[in-house]
């Protein structure tokens, strides 16, 4: 494994240039300082402080209870831990309901965490929100397809873009978000052929999760990549490690060692 020690942080221009040159973009979530540092040393292009924080770290069933303060606290830790990756922070549920609210939320995240970009879930209706932030000099990553903050309105977690109308709605959303100034767009659980078509239609990079191999980049929840969780990962995530077993085994060995110690006599 190579350790990347560059100190210059990647910018949105670098990300766009990588897409133009045909280099695939690698993005992972991070929620804390140490993990951010390790992923940075490994050479990750972008770190996402996702509101998956709610499921993965805070133990909620959905991302809905995650607050702006939660996001700022963890984004600041990731920012401190990384030196090279472009750091993107999600605006959580309720923090981007209209352009003014989104701007206030994004300003708070940028000023108190130091991250370089904001991510917002939503289709065509999110375009005016993206435009407002971009006009104020904020780099925005869009997010369409499965948008977990809308899980109850969507009626569950499933693949998007299966019907002709649904596919057209995603194409329209992707184009509107690009026109609004997003520098990249996450395609979550989008039919792979449609994700490939959208990727070909846009200048900005698409970052896929569960959307096939033909996006300009890929993002994964770190815990799904390293096998660190209490539940099995989604089927599209192919874990490259089994950290849960390493943690359980180390804890078992420690417990056994402590329990086996002879009582000390004075």
**Residue 87, token pair as written in the block:** 């750091």
Tokens 């600041």 belong to residue:
76
Between CA 189 and CA 206 the distance in angstroms is 13
Site string for ligand KIV, 59-98 (x = CB under 6 A): -------------------------------x--------
Q: How far is the CB of 192 from ligand KIV (least distance, A)?
A: 16
Which CB atom, from 21 or from 47, has the smaller least distance to ligand KIV? 47
Which residues ranging from 153 to 212 are in contact with ligand KIV (CB under 6 A)?
186, 188, 209
Tokens 């903050």 belong to residue:
149
**188 part of the active site:** yes
Q: How far is the CB of 232 from ligand KIV (least distance, A)?
A: 16
Contact at 8 Å (CB) between 84 and 114? no
Query: Catalytic: which of 164, 188, 193, 262?
Result: 188
Query: Considering only residues 45, 51, 178, 224, which one is a binding residue for ligand KIV as defined by CB under 6 A?
Result: 51
Which CB atom, from 138 or from 186, has the smaller least distance to ligand KIV? 186
Task: Select from 140, 121, 129 the least CA-distant residue to 12.
Answer: 140
Q: How far is the CB of 7 from ligand KIV (least distance, A)?
A: 26
Query: Considering only residues 29, 82, 211, 223, which one is a binding residue for ligand KIV as defined by CB under 6 A?
Result: 29
Query: How many residues in the shown chain lie near ligand KIV by CB under 6 A?
Result: 12
Exposed, middle or buried by CB within 10 Å (0-12, 13-18, 19+), for 228? buried
**Residue 253, token pair as written in the block:** 């060995």
Task: Select from 201, 194, 159 the least CA-distant residue to 178.
Answer: 201
Tokens 């990731």 belong to residue:
78
Query: Considering only residues 219, 225, 226, 228, which one is a binding residue for ligand KIV as defined by CB under 6 A?
Result: 219
Q: How far is the CB of 117 from ligand KIV (least distance, A)?
A: 13
CA dihedral 186, 189, 194, 195 (to 10 degrees): 30
Helices (H), 114-184: 127-135, 151-154, 164-179
Contact at 8 Å (CB) between 18 and 28? no
| SS3 label, residue 209 | strand
Query: Considering only residues 26, 45, 46, 52, which one is a binding residue for ligand KIV as defined by CB under 6 A?
Result: 52
Q: How far is the CB of 260 from ligand KIV (least distance, A)?
A: 41
Query: Considering only residues 35, 45, 50, 181, which one is a binding residue for ligand KIV as defined by CB under 6 A?
Result: 50
Annotated active-site positions, please?
Answer: 188
Positions touching ligand KIV (CB under 6 A) are 29, 48, 50-52, 90, 143, 186, 188, 209, 219, 221
């Amino acid at each position: 494994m190579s350790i990347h020690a560059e100190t210059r942080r990647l910018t949105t221009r670098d990300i766009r240039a990588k897409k133009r040159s045909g280099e695939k973009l690698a993005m992972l979530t991070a929620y804390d300082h140490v993990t951010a540092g390790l992923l940075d040393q490994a050479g990750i292009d972008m770190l996402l402080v996702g509101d998956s924080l709610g499921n993965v770290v805070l133990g909620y069933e959905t991302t809905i209870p995650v607050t702006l303060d939660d996001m700022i606290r963890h984004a600041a830790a990731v920012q401190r831990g990384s030196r090279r990756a472009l750091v993107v922070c999600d605006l959580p549920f309720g923090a981007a309901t209209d352009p003014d609210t989104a701007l206030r939320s994004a300003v708070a995240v940028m000023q108190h965490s130091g991250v370089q970009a904001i991510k917002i879930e939503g289709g065509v209706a999110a375009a005016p929100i993206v435009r407002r932030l971009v006009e104020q000099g904020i780099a925005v990553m869009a997010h369409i397809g499965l948008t977990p903050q809308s899980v109850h309105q969507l009626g569950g977690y499933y693949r998007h873009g299966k019907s002709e109308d649904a596919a057209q709605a995603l194409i329209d959303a992707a184009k509107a978000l690009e026109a609004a100034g997003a520098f990249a767009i996450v395609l979550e659980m989008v039919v792979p052929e449609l994700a490939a078509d959208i990727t070909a239609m846009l200048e900005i990079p698409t970052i896929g999760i569960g959307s096939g191999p033909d996006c300009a980049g890929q993002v994964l929840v770190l815990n799904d990549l390293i096998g660190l969780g209490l539940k099995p990962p989604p089927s599209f995530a192919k874990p490259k490690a089994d950290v849960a077993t390493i943690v359980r085994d180390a804890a078992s060995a420690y417990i056994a060692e402590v329990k086996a110690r002879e009582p000390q006599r004075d």
